[in-house]
Structure 1
Amino acid sequence: MKFQLRDSGLYCYSSEEWQRVGGWIEVIARTRLVDKRRGHGALLQWKNMDGVMLQEVVYARILNGENSRQVRELLVDTGYPLEPTNTSWSRLQRYLLEEMAKAQPATTVDRAGWHGSIFATSGWTIGEADEKHHFVGQLAASPVLQESGTLEEWQANVGRLCRGNPLAIFSVGVALAAPLLKHAEIENGAKHIVGNSSGGKSTLLQIAASIYSSPSFVRSWASTSNGLSAASAEHNDILLALDEIGLARPEDVDTAIYQIVNGTSKLRATITGELAGQACWRTLVLSTGEIWLSEVFQRLGKEVKAGQETRLVEIPVFGRYGAFDELHEFCSAQELVDALKSATRHYYGTLFRAWIECLTERGDELSIYAKGEVKRLTDQWTTPLMASQVVRVMRRFALISTALGLACRNYLLPWTEEESEQAVHQVADAWIKSRGHIFNKEEYRILLKLNEYMRSRRHSFAPIEKGRAEPPYEGFKRMVDGEKQLLVRKANFLQFFGLPTRYMREIEFLIQKDLLETNERSRGTLRVKVNGRFERFFALWPDRIRSYLNSLSDLDGLSQFPTLPSENSEVTDNE
């Protein structure tokens, strides 16, 4: 069967004459997903009855399968003039399949974000590759990336008002850092800005959203954990802005924090019982709310886990005027907020495209630059005493500063690299001060209890030579190579420190810092012979503990460990 494409439409040679099949339509490319193993199909281009040119990718499994009517319905619904004959669709179907086999190959991507050196969105792709890339993901049906105004207008009306306001600059940085997660090889994370109502928190979200799109880009926490996971998948390599955590169900927050930051959805089964595809993503979340994470979990009767605190980092609003420090030409914070809200409704979306162009132009150097800057800033902002959980969060702060610095260097933002770095460091410092310490959460709890124990129980030990330590004695004391050692009975130790049956994770760092002696590594205990038989104790070195805690007594202004008294000072057991 012969086909001929004319300006007036598609024709088929049959019964010794050319018969019209339908309007003008052609196959632009033979498409498949990046792995070249799935998603084969064709990129179609056609004119509808109003002369409007349309494009769509259709999958071969549908075009050449039992559900081919879906393609026919798509074409007819968009205004394609298919001839009303019994054979027109079968002829058009054959034409499309034949042309697909001959067309030049192209790659389709089914989600936004990086695909090799290409960054794809529902509306555009930027970057160089051997083949053209076409977006066929969920955002194609419901685009969230829109543009209004010019980049210069955004800089003059939105960006300018961020200057002098650390939280506003920081919010822009979170938005810009999301596409850098891949190159810096940093895990997902969430920043949660907490403050009273009418403090400007929602305005910060709108500023961040204006990098990408209109104010409708901001989503609500009022969703199920599955809904939030789906939103995360759509926002791969793109900021996910969530407003008002207090609207969410606590159990959904509990699940969503892990799912969003871990970057994977729940495993699900198909109708046949087979394992369905699992969605994966990279994203940074900027969240706001009037309540802290501890208040959310209090409703569930739970405590916030250390992993949740490092995944969703809580930042208090700390500006002179709510979320702002600099009012610029305005007389009140409310006037500034109103101006920013108005500006973000008119100027948005242009900075993101320019930012992606900036990133793709750097090519292979981008990863080297991002990793180097993150390391430089992390080294600059951390100390050897900072625990791994804190350092991990500080790396994300460093990534945000890296993104801002690169954008400033390329004249995309109306402030300097130095202002960016200062703003992010100020926000990071506010987080540490609000957190109250620089230790892993589990370690910090043990240190607080250890400080309390050394102040109140250090006289509650009998000399080991007596061989008996009846209550109120906690155990024995002895000298080992000229150094005092306290042998605390296991049951007393576990009860005072509130440790679970499996306690090694909580006390491991005491062993690593030589504050706790053990000859049973898997138990963390010291097996000692008393009165001719072996007993198990937790063996503390009081002088080492006192020295270590006193060194932390005023660390960067975080006075969490009052200076311990000397061993010989008079202190009652109840103090």
Structure 2
Amino acid sequence: MQVTTKSNLGAILADWLIRSHTKEIWSMTAKSGWHKGAYIMPDGSVIGVPQQPVLFNGGSAAANAYTVSGTTESWREQVARLANNNPFMMLGIATALAAPMIGIVGADGFGVHLYAQSTAGKTTTADIATSLYGKPDEQRLTWYGTALGIANKALAHNDGLLSLDEVGQGANPKHVHTSAYTLFNGKGKIQGAKEGGNHPLASWRTVAISTGEKDIPTFLMEAGIKINAGQLVRLLNIPMERAKTLHGAENGKAHADALKRGCREHHGAAGREWIGYLSSHHEEARQAYLEAQSRWSKLIPESYDRVSDRFAVLEAALMLGRVITGWKAQDCRDVLQYIFNVWMAEFGTGNKEFEQIVEQAVSFLNAHGMSRYAPLPYDERDLPIRDLAGYREKKGLHDNDPMIFYTLPATFKQEIAKGFNVDMFADTLVKSDILKKPASGRSYQGKTPRLKHLGGIQQRAYIMVLVPESDEEAWSSHVRAKTCCLCCLIFINCMNYNYFCF
């Protein structure tokens, strides 16, 4: 075959195509994932039998990552077997199995963020997940970049797994904030075309597995960014635990090394077989999802319906995916119940936000209580205080007697409650006995004692009390009592399914 640049030959080719009277219509797409009943991998290979011929004309920098090494059987032996009975490693594989399934069952895209301060195996778990489809090292992406860049990555992984490693390493919190929403919203920005009108709106479905040393809300809060509740159920933040079932390995490191070696030498084949299975078992996938939805909706209170949907997808993927992993059905259900309870303990009861608010308030008082709060009674001979935050007053003569901080409204709203709704923040502090609300009225603001240096006037202030160290355990018990009711409800529901929550 020869290639020519002669322009007149284009007309000859067009004339030949018209005269050939071919009735075969081809479908062209630049997006990977499900198309016309078949699945197009990012490298352009087609899995399954399409309803009509498909031509992939897209391109992705990630295409080279989707190679095959070993077989499904070797992956099952060298990766899935070693991950079995380790909840977080099984969760990683569940996210990978769920990725091409959400488009079939009509579920929304979502993500799982695994976090831990130490080397608990976060990256190894993500590599186990990505090994299903190709080389883990080349599939591993980062949060470092713009929201548009993350959106482009999601588009390149449509109906697939997106692996984002180490949220805290160089990532811009503002970009992470917008990316976390954009990623699972499934739609890009509306962009105008220079010739008029708009470019077609980019859309995608993806399941992401993310890792980091901190949970996303804490990472953002430290930068003064408040994450909304909707984002928390789009990207489930789950504290990571080390693998405990080592399958004969001498220690945790040896187990992790064996898994890394397994992922490096055996990858890609299992994922292609899984997608091939899904391409001819759409109805079974939908039925598995509906059954899991029904089970989780009975198990979880209605207010957590979107979270139950995420776990239903993961369960359906694990149950059907046993044709690939070889795991037992009960193990698959039990591991997700365990993961759900871990998530519930951190985020499901409102515990996490409650703790973040209290920590933010107490940290401010610890940092500035002595330097920016003028002591009462105020002595005008004292040096003036820069950036006055309010006034402090010791109630009693003993060390364990409380210190009262009369905080000026501007300081409370702009600094202490930064990143939160002020009234919600204040209400949480009232419930934790850090903020004293006036007995009458709906306002959270009280008044200072009469300030002699200002002519005896009283100023409006948020009256805060720093909890003495000796009372910390009592306060912790108080917080636990306020947040355990929902956990008890979950426990009772779980017992109906013979699962244990704690």
TM-score after normalising by structure 1: 0.61
Q: How does 1:296-315 map to 2 (within 5 A)?
A: 296-315=219-238
Structure in which a larger fraction of residues adopt helix: 2
Identity rate, percent: 27
Q: How does 1:67-146 map to 2 (within 5 A)?
A: 80=2, 82=4, 89-90=6-7, 92-101=9-18, 102=20, 103=22, 104-121=24-41, 122-139=43-60, 142-146=63-67
Counterparts of 1:141 and 1:240, CA distance in 2 = 11
Aligned length: 384
Say if 2:198 is the partner of 1:244: no
**1:357 corresponds to:** 276
Q: Give the greater-gyration-radius structure (CA).
A: 1
Q: Alpha-carbon deviations, 1:87-114, whole Å to 9, x = none?
A: x724542342233333432112221111
Say if 2:202 is the partner of 1:279: yes
Q: Alpha-carbon deviations, 1:111-161, whole Å to 9, x = none?
A: 111124222223322334442112112249944421111111101111110
| Change in 2 beyond 3 A, CA 1:173/1:450 | closer
Q: Alpha-carbon deviations, 1:398-420, whole Å to 9, x = none?
A: 21111010011xx2113112111
| Change in 2 beyond 3 A, CA 1:327/1:89 | same
Which letter does structure 2 place at the counterpart of 1:556? C
**2:262 corresponds to:** 343
- Secondary structure of the equivalent of 2:99? helix
Structure 1 gaps of 5+ residues are: 1-22, 24-79, 83-87, 461-471, 475-488, 497-548, 560-575
Which letter does structure 2 place at the counterpart of 1:222? Y
- Structure 1 residue 180: Cα displacement: 1.6
**1:8 corresponds to:** none
Among candidates 306, 309, 331, match of residue 392 of structure 1: 306
Among candidates 258, 264, 268, match of residue 191 of structure 2: 268
**1:435 corresponds to:** 347
**2:334 corresponds to:** 422
Say if 2:292 is the partner of 1:382: no
Moved more, 271-280 or 161-170: 271-280
Which letter does structure 1 place at the counterpart of 2:299? W
Counterparts of 1:141 and 1:161, CA distance in 2 = 27
- Structure 1 residue 182: Cα displacement: 2.1
Does the Cα contact within 8 Å between 1:189 and 1:396 map onto a contact in 2? yes
Which letter does structure 2 place at the counterpart of 1:379? S
| Change in 2 beyond 3 A, CA 1:437/1:558 | farther
| Change in 2 beyond 3 A, CA 1:473/1:214 | closer
Counterparts of 1:456 and 1:160, CA distance in 2 = 50
Q: How does 1:166-181 map to 2 (within 5 A)?
A: 166-181=87-102
Which letter does structure 1 place at the counterpart of 2:203? C
Does the Cα contact within 8 Å between 1:123 and 1:140 map onto a contact in 2? no
Among candidates 427, 433, 443, match of residue 449 of structure 1: 427
Does the Cα contact within 8 Å between 1:123 and 1:145 map onto a contact in 2? no
Which letter does structure 2 place at the counterpart of 1:94? A
- Structure 1 residue 454: Cα displacement: 11
Among candidates 318, 324, 346, match of residue 404 of structure 1: 318
- Secondary structure of the equivalent of 1:276? coil
Does the Cα contact within 8 Å between 1:433 and 1:558 map onto a contact in 2? no
| Change in 2 beyond 3 A, CA 1:440/1:266 | farther
- Structure 1 residue 374: Cα displacement: 2.9
**With CA pairs under 8 Å and 6+ residues apart, which has the higher RCO, 1 or 2?**
2
Say if 2:79 is the partner of 1:155: no
Counterparts of 1:415 and 1:396, CA distance in 2 = 20
Which letter does structure 2 place at the counterpart of 1:256? S
Does the Cα contact within 8 Å between 2:345 and 2:487 map onto a contact in 1? no
| Change in 2 beyond 3 A, CA 1:313/1:141 | closer
Moved more, 111-120 or 396-405: 111-120
Counterparts of 1:236 and 1:339, CA distance in 2 = 30
Does the Cα contact within 8 Å between 1:180 and 1:370 map onto a contact in 2? no
Does the Cα contact within 8 Å between 2:36 and 2:52 map onto a contact in 1? no
| Change in 2 beyond 3 A, CA 1:300/1:271 | farther
Q: How does 1:390-539 map to 2 (within 5 A)?
A: 390-408=304-322, 411-435=323-347, 437=349, 449=427, 452=430, 473-474=439-440, 489-490=441-442, 492=443
Structure in which a larger fraction of residues adopt strand: 1
**1:228 corresponds to:** 150
Structure 2 gaps of 5+ residues are: 358-422, 447-479, 491-502
Does the Cα contact within 8 Å between 2:215 and 2:237 map onto a contact in 1? yes
Counterparts of 1:308 and 1:326, CA distance in 2 = 33
Counterparts of 2:106 and 2:352, CA distance in 1 = 22
Q: Alpha-carbon deviations, 1:298-323, whole Å to 9, x = none?
A: 343122221222222110012xxx2x
- Secondary structure of the equivalent of 1:331? coil
Does the Cα contact within 8 Å between 1:306 and 1:440 map onto a contact in 2? no
Which letter does structure 2 place at the counterpart of 1:381? L
- Secondary structure of the equivalent of 1:315? strand
**Pairwise CA RMSD:** 3.2
TM-score after normalising by structure 2: 0.69
Counterparts of 1:343 and 1:456, CA distance in 2 = 52
Counterparts of 1:396 and 1:550, CA distance in 2 = 28
| Change in 2 beyond 3 A, CA 1:305/1:230 | same
| Change in 2 beyond 3 A, CA 1:358/1:553 | closer
Which letter does structure 2 place at the counterpart of 1:97? A
